């Protein structure tokens, strides 16, 4: 699955912003890369308070990206190349410019229009304090007070930015609207949806405060049991199509058993594996993460997913080039030195490790080029509300959203056409001249050719598909496992070279071997010789 962040993929009309025409032009690139499906981050009309995750109209396309007609053509053209389309659905909140919220603001306290959201009177005698102490995931209080023609009024809930009011999922309109939106996209050929913030929709009706400890399902706004009824309804809709549609959840939960509940046979098909994404570059930690992942999926018979990067996290070339290679959304740290050469070597090994595992793999646009996190975007050009709302304490996500380099030796590197009027919406590092699609194509040592080769082999080898994996004995710091058809993956995360099994042929390597040994931070796919060990 290839994640397209349209705004940064390719700009066909020269306004510095990627668009659907840019994606359509590059569908052959995506076919040649070898992906099965595209997941589009939100492409709907949006005032961009959260770069598309604040949706004003769920049934249309942002004019900066194109038209609904173009989206339908894109879905059909991709399908003709064997590539399916997954659209991003944001059910937790809408934009403050969505008609529902506008009419709620225009209506008095207690009106039916306000019941689709979480409007509450403030605490304290005059209501000048928020109804409770919940904090926004983007920083600051999760409540904003309305202003009724100059008179301070009720407060409304927003777990993200104030421009993203949370919907009230106890309201039947909210259910009906989202079910209709699902059908709208499924009817237009979307093969499925990625469900944003999927564990946050249901809130404690009493708005209880967060506490340091709480029992399973008792957090006031995360992973509440009522969510599962919503996804069962959605699954019934998805299954109602002759070619059933797929539901992919963005579910960040530390407890694997709780996560597995979303993947029961009548709920979501898959959920992103954020444990693996945040795992440090450490053999035993990765092994534990892989084992935990497979164990949690086994009882519910759902496919595992493997994700190294997305539009919310630091690109993994940079993560793996730091001293601390772990990642957490709560502790994004751009003040650490980054060894890009080492990070790139590890990223190459990581993709062979990942693509050898059973389940589905998500590739975030640009990782196939080896792009790194751009950590030095000037403050005046920063866009992410996380950066703004934390006063820069959290560097935010702009660095993973920089427009892709396609060709040429200078920015915008073919992202925009040569006669473009405007610079790309985020500045590209000049060093990306070495990471363009043009430069990497045909270079056997490039990240792009490694991805192409790995995806080609993964598609051709039944042994790399569904099915078991078994760990092989290995020295400390080395991960070695076998898949079907005698295929093996060996990844060396130790400090020095290790021996490879003698009776095995190398199918693909993330870097050169040294006298037949596997160097540090290198991975290989091997085929065991018949009768070999």
- Write out the catalytic residue numbers: 196, 250
C-alpha to C-alpha distance for 300 and 305, rounded to whole angstroms:
14
Q: Which CB sits closer to ligand TEU, 297 or 332?
A: 332
Interacting residue with ligand TEU among 208, 329, 453, 472 (CB under 6 A): 329
Sequence-distant (≥ 6) Cβ neighbours of residue 20 within 8 angstroms: 6, 43, 61, 65, 66, 67, 70, 71, 74
**Quick one: which segment of 148-156, 168-176, 196-204, 370-378 binds ligand TEU (CB under 6 A)?**
196-204
- Of 85, 136, 197, 522, which one interacts with ligand TEU (CB under 6 A)? 197
* 50 lies in the binding site for ligand TEU (CB under 6 A): yes
The site string for ligand TEU over 81-120 (x = CB under 6 A, - otherwise) reads: ---------x------------------------------
Q: Which residues pair with 2 in a beta bridge?
A: 38, 363
Instruction: Considering only the stretches 177-185, 192-200, 402-410, 419-427, report the one whose residues sit in contact with ligand TEU under the rule CB under 6 A.
Output: 192-200
φ, ψ of residue 166 to 5 degrees: the values are -75, 140
Q: What are phi and psi of 161, to 5 degrees?
A: -75, 160
Query: How large is the greatest C-alpha to C-alpha distance in the chain, in angstroms?
Result: 82
CB closer to ligand TEU out of 62 and 196: 196
User: Token pair of 523, please?
Assistant: 């991975």
Binds ligand TEU by CB under 6 A, chosen from 222, 270, 436, 492? 222
Minimum CB distance to ligand TEU smaller for 196 or for 440 = 196
Give the H or E element holding residue 449: helix 447-460
Q: Specify the DSSP element, H or E, that contains 264.
A: none
- Number of residues binding to ligand TEU, judged by CB under 6 A: 14
Positions 382 through 441 that interact with ligand TEU (CB under 6 A): none
- Residue whose C-alpha is closest to residue 249's, from 299, 297, 287, 189: 297
Count of Cβ atoms closer than 10 Å to residue 206 Cβ: 8
Least Å distance between CB 345 and ligand TEU?
A: 28
Place of tokens 């006298």: 515
Least CB distance to ligand TEU at residue 292 (A): 19
Chain residue whose CB lies nearest ligand TEU: 53
What span, in angstroms and rounded, lies between the C-alpha atoms of 500 and 497? 10
By C-alpha distance, which of 479, 88, 71 is closest to 283?
479
Smallest gap from residue 514 Cβ to ligand TEU (A): 40
Q: Which of these, 453, 293, 314, lies nearest to 360 by C-alpha position? A: 293
The only residue of 2, 252, 406, 415 in contact with ligand TEU, by rule CB under 6 A = 252
Beta bridge partners of 72: none
Provide the token pair at 155.
Answer: 């407060």
Candidates 8-16, 21-29, 194-202, 444-452; binding stretch for ligand TEU (CB under 6 A): 194-202
User: Closer CB to ligand TEU, residue 252 or residue 525?
Assistant: 252
Q: Applying CB under 6 A, which residues contact ligand TEU?
A: 50, 53, 90, 137, 160, 196-197, 200, 222, 250, 252, 311-312, 329
């Amino acid at each position: 699955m290839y994640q397209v962040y349209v705004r940064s993929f390719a700009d066909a009309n020269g306004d510095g912003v990627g668009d659907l025409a840019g994606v359509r032009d590059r569908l052959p690139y995506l076919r040649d890369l070898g992906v099965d499906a595209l997941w589009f981050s939100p492409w709907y009309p949006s005032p961009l308070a959260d770069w598309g995750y604040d949706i004003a109209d769920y049934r249309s396309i942002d004019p900066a990206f194109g038209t609904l007609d173009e989206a339908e053509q894109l879905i059909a053209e991709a399908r003709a190349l064997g590539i399916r389309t997954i659209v991003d659905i944001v059910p937790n909140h809408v934009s403050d410019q969505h008609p529902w919220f506008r009419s709620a603001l225009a209506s008095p306290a207690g009106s039916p229009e306000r019941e689709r959201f979480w409007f509450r009177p403030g605490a304290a005698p005059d209501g000048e304090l928020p109804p409770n102490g919940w904090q926004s995931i983007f920083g600051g209080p999760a409540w904003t007070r309305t202003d009724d023609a100059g008179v301070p009024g009720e407060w409304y809930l927003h777990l993200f930015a104030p421009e993203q009011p949370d919907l009230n999922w106890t309201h039947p309109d909210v259910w009906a609207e989202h079910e209709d939106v699902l059908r709208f996209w499924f009817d237009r050929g979307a093969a499925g949806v990625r469900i944003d913030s999927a564990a946050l929709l249901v809130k404690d009706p009493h708005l209880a405060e967060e506490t340091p400890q709480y029992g399973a399902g008792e957090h006031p706004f995360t992973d509440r049991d009522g969510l599962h009824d919503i996804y069962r309804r959605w699954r019934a809709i998805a299954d109602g199509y002759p070619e059933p549609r797929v539901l992919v959840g963005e579910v960040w939960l530390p407890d694997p058993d709780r996560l597995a509940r979303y993947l029961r046979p009548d709920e979501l098909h898959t959920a992103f594996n954020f444990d693996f994404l945040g795992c440090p570059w450490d053999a035993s930690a990765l092994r534990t993460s892989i084992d935990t992942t497979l164990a949690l999926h086994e009882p519910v018979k759902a496919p595992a997913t493997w994700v190294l990067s997305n539009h919310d996290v630091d690109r993994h070339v940079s993560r793996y080039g730091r001293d601390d290679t772990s990642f957490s959304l709560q502790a994004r740290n751009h003040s650490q030195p980054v060894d890009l050469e080492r990070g790139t070597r590890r990223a190459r090994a990581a993709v062979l490790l990942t693509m050898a595992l059973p389940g589905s793999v998500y590739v975030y646009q640009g990782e196939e080029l080896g792009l790194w996190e751009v950590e030095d975007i000037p403050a005046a050009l920063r866009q992410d509300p996380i950066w703004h709302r934390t006063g820069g304490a959290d560097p935010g996500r702009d660095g993973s959203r920089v427009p892709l380099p396609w060709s040429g030796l200078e920015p915008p590197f073919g992202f925009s056409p040569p006669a473009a009027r405007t610079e790309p919406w985020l500045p590209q590092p000049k060093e990306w001249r070495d990471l363009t699609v043009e430069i990497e194509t045909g270079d056997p040592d490039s990240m792009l050719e490694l991805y192409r080769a790995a995806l080609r082999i993964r598609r051709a080898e039944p042994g790399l598909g569904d099915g078991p994996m078994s760990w092989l004995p290995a020295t400390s710091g080395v991960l070695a496992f076998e898949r079907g058809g005698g295929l093996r993956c060996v990844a060396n995360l130790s400090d020095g070279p290790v021996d490879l099994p003698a009776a095995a042929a190398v199918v693909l390597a993330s870097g050169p071997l040294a006298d037949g040994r596997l160097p540090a931070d290198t991975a290989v796919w091997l085929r065991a010789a018949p009768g070999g060990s």
